[in-house]
Structure 1
């Protein structure tokens, strides 16, 4: 963006289309009752999305386990190399049409038509660019099988960009129940297609067909839930132009940041080693994709409703950050500390090289949780130039680290780079939050001390229990893992609640959950006694 307005400065009374979309009228400060209503709808919307993402990631995990037991690490490595190019091009050409529609004061037919037309044009350009790049990419990686595989995989991002724009009506109302059904249906299609083909062919093409089947099913279902008759029109293209320019530049850099590890490893290690790394990276990313990313959509709607009340917006950001960390920290710590027995149980001996990678990659996901809602906050405040700035900093840090790590140390060099980059970018993001909200960095971090202490307790519990899992196999190992996880989570929750009470019971996720339990307990006990 070319605006010279300081980041975090008060917003103008209204924003024109050239500043990101339809105009926003000045509104009076939001009442407390309105804030509570927004909070309730946001929590409900987030719950539906998290439930949907947990369900879809559970299906993803089952699919991953079944495929890992049928196919070889080299098959995963082959598809990982092909998907690297496809996902980079998809990310570069990503256009946040949904966010622009949600941010608009009124979603008109012209806006929907423009969103669909832009999505269609993007899909055509994406397919052409992927087809042009496929053959040179295959030559670069010395494998002629990559070219047709890349071209076929390009169908998936094109389908994702053509979903019904009318689904945005539900997003703006913070109602994501239909998203749950659509995502679950898409993952079931992926599971059925990929696993059946894997059993029949024992080929990496099973993964490719599953990758395409899911988005195609979701595309069809989106029009069933949100009927919309496509009409080509760019009458309202200016509503998207501002975000498209900065988004494209930011996505170009972000795409390189996202896939540079796989790109470099594909050049310096075997496809089997790349497959082990890719599998570990996918598993380490499941909790973040299941919990953090789904929350972003209702957050955007909630932050948009609070954008004219800076104090409440900042408070909502702080509470959301602490809630995400409180939920995400025990999951990532548990995944790291129980990586070896979990891989031994679920994937078998041929995937044992992946568990040390998973152990450290899970830890690398923790620092970014400290500023997870930054994207939604920047979008609502119209400060999308922050994305490009952050991504450029990350590229400057990650490119030399990944290159050095991959060249000299292979997979573990890249894993070490992930740890350094995650920590560095978490600190960078806190500085950007300070510019947006004027909250000092130490205040941003001070609210997480209870979660950090409870996480330390969980770590000690798992370190004490983990030796009991050595030598176990099959059902006994599964029961042992479940028992360890349950004891650790109970210890974490008890310690977190104790620290919250000692801290004077401040507002936050602990207070929200305590009130919910207190309100629900009579109903639970009544139903239990009736049963």
Structure 2
């Protein structure tokens, strides 16, 4: 390993609980700043771009997302999870991640026309090819990003991600104003990613150092294959509604779906991305220290739920006035799909946390089988719903499968892996009460509010108050759960 920066930040006396909480808050700040910028830019772009242009960009994002799930061949997850000294593993991890990025980029360049046509947007071919540059860049980001995640060094990650977001938003806004349409989104995205990669390498001290060891290849490949399989299935499950929307309903409908999906992910992505950056590392270190994973998982999941569940309920009940006030009447069809997607996003957060917990306890194959059940149920449900009920049907199909299939199957997988589901159920009670209170209040707001703007304002204040109260009231559960790991 080049340099010793991660070890300096992860001082032994800090304790895992303290490092988790510091990493959690820095990750939350990182995510909030990124999402606020994206939200503001989304409002501007909705006034400058047509739904068809959003649809072209969404097609390219689907392809990029699928490629990113396997391009590092599981090297990043292996680095984060590995017990003891990780330095001997790094040259092999570098080789696998960079070669994987090169292969994935080449595959996309060749297959872009067929992929774009299959997604219902044949005119997106060149944007798909260009956005695939991010896959190549990600091969160089895997190891340095994993090392920062492993050591919970979120301060450095904040610097890199924030700089990339600023460049992305500045370029995207400028190019969109100048009339470059969907290309403004693609160019801004790739430019921001390039800057993030450079900063991750510099801030982690992990410069490319290639090598190959059969032993380490077997370690990364054995564990990574299951991780990659799980990640691909997760990404496919997340991509199904976009693929079905584009192929069944067309590029314009995909543009409406893309905007609704972004809105649905507001509260979810803030919490999910925040926790994802520290969950695997924390659960892995807790397992390594012989800590009580039941208590740690229940505390984390419970506190995440206090923020996510009221937010999801609020977006579902306020979908129509939010789209009308924030984006304008021309985006009204997006509200039809937003309500269902908001509910589905809540279920996905808990499934993501269960996914990281399964990786931490060394059960990636179980996670892959769980994701397969999810996908096999989701595909027919989404296709049938799209043909019968259009955009609204697609949204509610995601909600039904997430709550009735994904969450229960993940709970079963955790039980098989030795995690007591009863502990997780106790952890989820406070969020459920918060969500019920939020829902009751918002029904009254919608019933008596005379305008969409007032509904959004009052609903936002109510939801923010419930989340703040829940966080303050139950924050001690996180301290108690992580104390066993300190």
One fold, TM greater than 0.5?
yes
Structure 1 residues 488 and 60: CA distance shift in structure 2, 3 A: closer
> In structure 2, which of residues 377, 397, 408 is the aligned counterpart of residue 427 of structure 1?
408
Q: How far off is 1:56 after superposition?
A: 0.8
Report deviation, 1:89: 2.7
CA drift of 1:216 comes to: 0.9
Aligned partner of 2:276 in structure 1 is: 296
Distance in 2 separating the partners of 1:51 and 1:99: 23
Residue of structure 2 aligned with 1:178, choices 123, 148, 156: 156
Q: How does 1:355-504 map to 2 (within 5 A)?
A: 355-423=335-403, 424-439=405-420, 441-467=421-447, 469-471=449-451, 477=453, 481-491=456-466
Equivalent-residue separation in structure 2 for 1:255 and 1:371 (angstroms): 13
Shift of 1:60: 1.4
Q: CA offset at residue 406 of structure 1?
A: 2.1
Q: Deviations over 1:407-449 (max 9, x none)?
A: 333222211210111111101111111112252x455323322
Q: CA deviation at 1:281?
A: 1.0
Does 2:473 match 1:508?
no
The CA deviation string for residues 483-525 of structure 1, in whole angstroms up to 9 with x for no partner, is: 4422343356558878x7xxxxx9615989xxxxxxxxxxxxx
What is the aligned counterpart of 2:293 among 305, 310, 313? 313
Structure-2 residue corresponding to 1:86? 64
The answer to whether residue 23 in structure 2 is matched with residue 45 in structure 1 is: yes
Distance 2:352 2:124 in 1: 35
CA offset at residue 466 of structure 1? 3.1
Alignment of 1:18-417 (within 5 A): 37-140=15-118, 144-163=122-141, 165-235=143-213, 236-308=216-288, 312-417=292-397
Q: Distance in 2 between matches of 1:363 and 1:142?
A: 26
Counterpart for residue 20 of structure 1: none
Distance 1:217 1:103, change over 3 A: same
Q: Contact 1:107/1:169 (CA < 8 Å) preserved in 2?
A: no
What secondary structure, in the 3-state scheme, does the structure 2 residue paired with 1:230 have? coil
Question: How far 1:162 moved relative to its partner?
Answer: 1.0
CA shift in 2, pair 1:396/1:310, >3 Å = farther
Higher mean Cα deviation, 79-88 or 104-113? 104-113
> Corresponding residue for 1:525?
none
Give the Cα–Cα distance (whole angstroms) in 1 for the partners of residues 108 and 344 of structure 2: 31
Cα gap change, 1:167 to 1:128, in 2 (>3 Å): closer
Q: Does the 8 A contact of 1:458 with 1:489 survive in 2? A: no
Q: Distance in 2 between matches of 1:230 and 1:277?
A: 39
Give 1:181 shift.
1.3
Q: Secondary structure at the match of 1:231?
A: coil
Unaligned 5+ segments in structure 1 are 1-33, 501-505, 513-531
- Provide the C-alpha distance between the structure 1 equivalents of 2:244 and 2:344, rounded to a whole number of angstroms: 19
The answer to whether the 8 Å contact 2:283/2:357 transfers is yes
Q: Is the Cα contact below 8 Å between 1:163 and 1:222 reproduced in 2?
A: yes
User: Number of residues paired by the alignment?
Assistant: 467
Deviation at 1:224, TM superposition (A): 2.5
CA–CA distance in structure 2, aligned partners of residues 354 and 400 of structure 1: 22
User: Could you say which residue in structure 1 is the equivalent of 2:9?
Assistant: none
Q: CA deviation at 1:52?
A: 0.4
Task: Give unpaired runs (5+ residues) of structure 2.
Answer: 1-11, 482-486
Q: Is the 8 A contact 1:186 1:215 kept in 2?
A: yes
Question: Secondary structure of the equivalent of 1:470?
Answer: coil
* Secondary structure of the structure 2 residue equivalent to 1:233: coil
CA 218–407 in structure 1, closer or farther in 2 if over 3 Å, else same: same
- The separation in 1 between residues aligned to 2:292 and 2:14, in whole angstroms, is 11
Is contact 1:80-1:278 (8 Å) kept?
yes
Instruction: Tell me what 2:484 maps to.
Output: none
**Of 97-106 and 324-333, the range deviating more from structure 2:** 97-106
Superposed CA RMSD in Å reads: 2.7
Higher helix share: 2
Whether the 8 Å contact between 1:164 and 1:226 is mirrored in structure 2 is no
> Cα deviation per residue 1:77-103 (whole Å; 9 max; x = unaligned)?
112123222322332435332221122
Deviates more, 1:487-496 or 1:187-196: 487-496
- 1: distance between equivalents of 2:243 and 2:316? 25
Q: Kindly indicate whether the alpha-carbon contact (under 8 Å) linking 2:315 and 2:342 is maintained by their aligned counterparts in 1.
A: yes
| Bigger Rg, which one | 1
How many Å separate the matches in 1 of 2:269 and 2:120? 33
Question: Are residues 119 and 37 of structure 1, via their aligned partners in 2, closer, same or farther at CA, if it must alter by over 3 Å?
Answer: same
Partners in 2 of 1:48 and 1:258 — Cα distance?
A: 27
Match of 1:524 in 2: none
